[in-house]
């Protein structure tokens, strides 16, 4: 009997497909948002030509999703609607690789400025956005509702993609 060796997953980035919607909905539910999106809502967004959705998956098994990012484009601007890395995939650099690929794709589509909103207290997400060069452009007081009924501020962040 030989030894079994398990290789670390190798990340691949690809565009989302309709068949990914249930898995994307499951990942979105892991994101800690006050309301998660259903597979039907995600399918509707993916079908929208203005929405770009990229998946981080295992390069050997592309139906094994680690995370996703979804942006809506309008003229030369876009907004990240949501970005999630699954609980088991956090802290491995998958989110950064996913975001880098997504930014590059958006720039290739002619997007010059990208916006997002992030909960002010979401330290891991803010650290990633800071590393990627996003800057705070504004604040929405009490924007997010927390499960305990309290609220949290949303930071509006932006990034110029003309540097990519």
149 phi and psi, to 5 degrees? 95, -10
* Predicted pLDDT at 164: 63
For residue 155, is pLDDT > 90? yes
Mean pLDDT of the chain: 89
Instruction: Tell me the Cα Rg of the chain.
Output: 16
CB of 115 closer than 8 Å to CB of 137: yes
What does the pLDDT average to over 68-76? 96
* Predicted pLDDT at 37: 87
CB of 134 closer than 8 Å to CB of 153: no
């Amino acid at each position: 009997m030989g030894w079994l060796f398990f290789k670390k997953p190798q990340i691949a980035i690809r565009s989302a497909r309709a068949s990914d919607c249930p898995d994307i909905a499951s990942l979105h539910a892991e994101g800690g948002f006050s309301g998660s999106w259903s597979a039907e809502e995600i399918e509707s967004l993916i079908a929208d030509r203005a929405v770009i959705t990229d998946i981080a998956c295992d390069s050997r098994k592309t139906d094994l999703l680690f995370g996703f990012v979804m942006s809506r484009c309008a003229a030369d601007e876009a907004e990240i609607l949501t970005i999630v890395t699954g609980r088991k995939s956090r802290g491995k650099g998958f989110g950064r690789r996913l975001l880098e690929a997504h930014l590059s794709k958006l720039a290739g589509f002619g997007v010059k400025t990208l916006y997002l909103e992030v909960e002010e207290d979401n330290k891991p997400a803010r650290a990633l956005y800071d590393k990627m060069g996003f800057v705070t452009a504004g604040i929405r007081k009490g924007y997010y509702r927390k499960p305990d009924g309290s609220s949290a501020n949303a930071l509006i962040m932006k990034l110029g993609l003309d540097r990519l």
